[in-house]
Amino acid sequence: MIAAELAKHSPHPEWWQWAIQVLIVAVSAGIAVFVSEYLRTKGKNLATRADFDSLKLQLRENTELVENIKAEVGQKDWAAREWKNTRRIKLEELLAKMHECDAFADRFRHISIEGVVSTERDPVGEMETIGALYFPELQTEIFDYALAHRQHKLAGSSLATNVIQSRDDLAKRQFHFDAYTSGYEDRLNATSLAQSKLNAAARRLLVQIVGLDSSS
């Protein structure tokens, strides 16, 4: 130290030299304490800053997570609403196709009696497609109706073919017509029953889709 060097080169140290030495030591100690406290405070501040930055990062990540969850839930809610609305519309289309099948069967019966082969497209296939895509709950009722409809159509096709083959033989034509009409009421009743069951099942399903009380 400076005071020690001065004392070493001075043959007879004076009191003021000792005072300077003590003062220097005291100042040095004070500086050491200040530096130590400064470094400790600085370290705390750095730690606090690091903790603060960590908290900000965690908050940002949590906020992003919450927003993502909200967006995902919102997307699912939107998809559920769209699916419900789509099913409601498709259920109306399904029943409309069923009525188209009835009208088709009536036209098919008339031309079959005349011995004409129909080239019109049967809408029952479209009806079954709608059911398969959107209404697994109605598969039994749809199958039963489609089966009754096709049996009705098959009888008409057979009648048209037999009438054509009978040509001008009126007796044969009458025989085939009587065979057709003998089972007509049973086929018609089977179709009507299947239609009623499908209508009832579709009504119940519509209530479930729109979330209404079935008694309303």
Each domain of the chain, given as residue ranges in start order, spans 2-63, 89-210
Q: Work out the average pLDDT over 79-94.
A: 91
Tell me how long the chain is.
Answer: 216
Tell me how far apart the alpha carbons of residues 3 and 26 are, in angstroms, rounded to a whole number: 12
The answer to whether the Cα torsion of 118, 123, 128, 133 is positive or negative is positive
What's the pLDDT band for 78 if we cut at 50, 70, 90?
confident
pLDDT at 211: 76
pLDDT digits (tens, 9 = 90+) for 127-151: 999 999 999 999 999 999 999 999 9
Report which of residues 102 and 69 the model is more confident about.
Answer: 102
pTM for the structure as a whole: 0.64
Residue 172's contacts (CB-CB under 8 Å, 6 or more residues apart) are: 162, 165, 166
Residue 64's contacts (CB-CB under 8 Å, 6 or more residues apart) are: none
Tell me how far apart the alpha carbons of residues 36 and 214 are, in angstroms, rounded to a whole number: 81
